[in-house]
Structure 1
């Protein structure tokens, strides 16, 4: 989320047009040495020559609120990173053992990533496809199993991201399978330049920690809006199937300003999920999550849906079967429309729907 000079990716392009990586071969990043180094890095060791060079090259950059990784004096290289480029095609290849983010276009336009397999073992920050502050991104027919998020969408972090102010916009993600990883498709938490007009369809998530996850925190600023998710199957989800969380770092409350993030106009439909928790929506006291709809969705879950600090919420034809607790819990929210909500397994120990401090509710 920060413009910075560091180690070069294996594949790097800067301000070019009409480039492609095509084929049926496998590219191995041999990332193990990098993973071991970052996991065992001693915080107080004397600076080596590479860290001193890093410090020298990055003297005057804008820093995010949390600059711990930058102050450490090194960042691992992404595997494939075009920057400020146009008309990019990545097709058919297999990538394994990336040191860091695997496919990481930044500030690019017109990107097609098709039929790519990414296979990283459990390993730190080895996101699969991470297109940051790009326009017209098309991801299709990919198979991804990684040590972090399978597909992420970002647009800068805190003041550096707001200053650059380049959104991630006009992305389509379709016909993909995603295994393992922290999340299937994740937006944020670095979204200070904004994320908008994103469509995610016809995907399977199996064994990821979460399915769809949109996350931010106080201090980021930026708006996530106009998101559509449709025709998704999730199985063996270890945490939540769907997460919209504006308190990712649990930062303390502050007055509404350009540092306050916003989530709005997010529609999810035709989803089946087998998961630990069905859905978690968590806005801020000072900025509610807004205009969220859930239509034709079935959750088989240990625990149900929790919604907090939200407004203009629509749940239509939603079924939640839980093992414990209420199927739907809503707190500190307003303008909620619930139509055809049901459970096939009502519990004697908890109400199906539990409401606390909810205003303007329509239940039918």
Structure 2
């Protein structure tokens, strides 16, 4: 595909790749004026109007018969016909991994549930994927597309990853998710993967899969363009639910994501460009939306940011954060616009969170949130944390700048505004305007900020204008 180039070590690079820290920062007087141009570039894929019913290819929707081969046959037939729609009718359809191709739509009709097998060997052979920001070969994601154009997942049915404490989730090294001492866990392989990434071991040699216990993600378009995920309910992924990687022109619309396992994030665009997430419902065991761009040395090797991302009209319930930037953000994140959000759960920790450290590095800039309501919250309303996980023990100083939150009303939480940065790299140009944070235990926690502006900000009944004392 013309927008993909291969590096000498086999890693991908995308045409908009560049070192963000070398680019001058510029923004119009009203950054939201950029949104119409971004939306104009985000267009739904074009899928030929041909239907291929799954049951015609030998599938039986009884929840017992394995329909993996029927999915493969239907997708192959549609591909040979230059594209079309795989229709999953009402019923309970058990399957292994589904690999989409260009010009293919997976349509899960009302009353249909696609239920994914929980035996790990079903997700072999391994495929190229990205796991917590590092490339490797691992179990196939449950729904996977590689270097495709025009792919879609639609319908009002359900995709059920069947993650539970009895299946995938017990690979996490936590008793509360079903793990027991002496049983397999992901921790050793996770550490090994990160070491391989730091030492620039060729991706081809990073082969995990069977015996390594790294859980696959649920939906992963990888190096794709023109993607639509609309209408479906997505439940109980082994790990991250929707994980678009190195892709562009992405629409995620009217999707319901529910899953309370470990690292069961809702939507994680990673090193992606031109993304619209709208009218969705998230109730998750980790971040609702987490925007990423690679981890540490491997993130610097690929060096592709996530940029031009619009989130609007979504509801967030449980989760570590509603809108989260990081922690795998080595390639950088810029131009994020979030508006008209409703957040409501004591189990939702933060409304807006940016997390990194001096191992990740990365440049985060031009992050905007407005016109949103937090009905209840458990942690920080707005947080920038440059001490996440390893803290300031690396050689790659992150930069965070140009953060604007306007008309955010919240109730509850521990801290209203928490900004924790480094003396050599303060958080720059943070503007909080027309906001009200009620019922927080502590208004501010500030460490190393530059150009912090408050205008008409009321916290626990006290109105702030200008810059507060740390």
TM-score (norm. length: structure 2): 0.63
Contact 2:420 2:446 in 1 (8 A): yes
Contact 2:171 2:213 in 1 (8 A): no
Contact 2:336 2:367 in 1 (8 A): yes
| Equivalent residue runs for 1:313-328 within 5 Å | 313-321=452-460
SS in 2 for 1:318: strand
1:261 equivalent to 2:261? Answer no
What residue number does 1:347 align with? Answer: none
Q: 1:196 to 1:64 in 2, by over 3 A?
A: farther
What residue number does 2:163 align with? Answer: 31
Q: 1:340 to 1:96 in 2, by over 3 A?
A: same
What residue number does 2:273 align with? Answer: 135
- Aligned match for 2:446, one of 294, 298, 307: 307
SS in 2 for 1:286: coil
Q: 1:298 to 1:163 in 2, by over 3 A?
A: same
Give the deviation of 1:110 after TM superposition. 0.3
Q: Which has the higher helix share?
A: 2
Q: Deviations over 1:254-274 (max 9, x none)?
A: 6xx5x1111001111010011
1:12 equivalent to 2:144? Answer yes
Q: 1:51 to 1:152 in 2, by over 3 A?
A: closer
Give the deviation of 1:162 after TM superposition. 1.3
Q: Deviations over 1:179-218 (max 9, x none)?
A: 0111111000111000001100110111111111111111
Number of aligned residues: 319
CA RMSD of aligned residues (A): 2.9
Contact 1:169 1:197 in 2 (8 A): yes
Q: Deviations over 1:316-344 (max 9, x none)?
A: 0000107xxxx79xxxxxxxxx6379xxx
Distance in 2 (CA, whole Å) between partners of 1:282 and 1:319 is 21
TM-score (norm. length: structure 1): 0.81
Q: Deviations over 1:164-183 (max 9, x none)?
A: 11000010000000001111
Q: 1:22 to 1:263 in 2, by over 3 A?
A: same
Unaligned runs of 5+ in 1: 329-337, 342-352, 357-364
Q: Which has the higher strand share?
A: 1
What residue number does 2:426 align with? Answer: 288
Contact 1:3 1:61 in 2 (8 A): no
Contact 1:112 1:139 in 2 (8 A): yes
What residue number does 1:215 align with? Answer: 355
- Aligned match for 2:231, one of 92, 104, 108: 92
Q: 1:128 to 1:294 in 2, by over 3 A?
A: same
Give the deviation of 1:222 after TM superposition. 1.0
Contact 1:291 1:312 in 2 (8 A): yes
What residue number does 2:18 align with? Answer: none
Distance in 2 (CA, whole Å) between partners of 1:107 and 1:199 is 20
Q: 1:64 to 1:247 in 2, by over 3 A?
A: farther
1:339 equivalent to 2:465? Answer yes
Give the deviation of 1:253 after TM superposition. 5.0
- Aligned match for 1:76, one of 209, 215, 220: 215
| Equivalent residue runs for 1:54-69 within 5 Å | 61-63=196-198
Larger Rg: 2
1:21 equivalent to 2:161? Answer no
| Equivalent residue runs for 1:123-162 within 5 Å | 123-162=261-300
Q: 1:2 to 1:253 in 2, by over 3 A?
A: closer
Give the deviation of 1:74 after TM superposition. 3.0
Give the deviation of 1:252 after TM superposition. 4.0
Q: 1:154 to 1:43 in 2, by over 3 A?
A: farther
